[in-house]
Amino acid sequence: MKRLIACVSGQVQKGGYRKRVMQTAKAFGLKGIVENLEDGRVRIIVEGEDEKLKWFESAIDIKNTLIQVSTIEKAYFAAGGEFSRFGKVVDEDETDARLDKGVEAIGSMILAVNGVTKAIEKMDLNLSRRMDNIGEKIDTMSGKIDNIGEKIDTMSGKIDNIGEKIDTMSGKIDNIGEKIDTMSGKIDRIDGKMGFMLQKQDDLIVEVKDMNASLNEKMDRVLDKTDVVELKGDMSDVKAALRAKGII
């Protein structure tokens, strides 16, 4: 059996630290006392088996919302055996059990508030992440819409280019049409001239025929001798030659 004397510094008064020390000591079956010191520290005198004292020493190093142990000054001695249980030294201005219950209730409330605060912080973090994710999706969608707009602009440019080519082709076709019209006019004029020449040729043929007929009649009336007969034969040869050439 040994005695441990520990002086604990930090945020250890008016936060339920002594009650926690008492609960721990009773759980290990240790005996002794715990009290507040005027300098803000807490002194613990506890007796028991060596191994349990080591566990107790680790267990009283508490850090939570209301309690923050910074240092533990400790020393081991031989057990005196004067303690019959583990208790708490209470000052005249303390209400002991009521104060412990109040501190415990406040501690529970603070823990609950901290839990709610953490839950809200987690919710805010999740909400913020979701909002960021939605923002990224909106940015991605906006980029896709811009890409579609660029493709539409490119397609519109290509359509305009095709339209310009069609207009150019239409102009060329119109030019060809004008040339065909000009050529057709020239052909019409040539056809007119050919008709005029053929008409003159026909008129000339008729005139030659008339002259030939008149000449034949006159020759028949004036000449009635053998040489005239020969002359007629010659005239027949002339007519045959003219017919062969298509003049009469």
pLDDT of 83-118, one tens digit each? 999 999 987 666 555 455 555 656 666 666 677 667
| Residues in CB range of 201: below 8 A, 6 or more apart | none
Domain ranges of the chain: 2-94
Catalytic site residue 98? Answer: no
Give the mean pLDDT of 130-141.
78
Q: Which CATH number fits domain 2-94: 3.10.20.600, 1.10.3330.10, 3.40.1640.10, 3.30.70.100?
A: 3.30.70.100
Catalytic site residue 243? Answer: no
Question: Model pTM?
Answer: 0.42
pLDDT averaged over every residue in the chain: 80
214 falls in which pLDDT band (50, 70, 90)? confident
Question: What was the pLDDT predicted at 220?
Answer: 65
- Active site residue: 36, 43, 126, 221, which one? 36
Q: What is the pLDDT of residues 34-74, one digit of tens each?
A: 999 999 999 999 999 999 999 999 999 999 989 999 999 99
Give the mean pLDDT of 231-242.
77
Whole-angstrom distance, CA of residue 103 vs CA of residue 217: 167
- Active site residue: 3, 18, 20, 41, which one? 18
Question: What was the pLDDT predicted at 91?
Answer: 75
3-state SS assignment for residue 169: helix
Q: Residue 91, Cβ neighbours under 10 Å: how many?
A: 9
Tell which wins on pLDDT, 133 or 223.
Answer: 133
Give the mean pLDDT of 148-173.
74
Task: Look up residue 131 and give its two tokens.
Answer: 């909002």
Give the mean pLDDT of 158-177.
75
C-alpha dihedral, 184 to 188 to 194 to 200, nearest 10°? -170
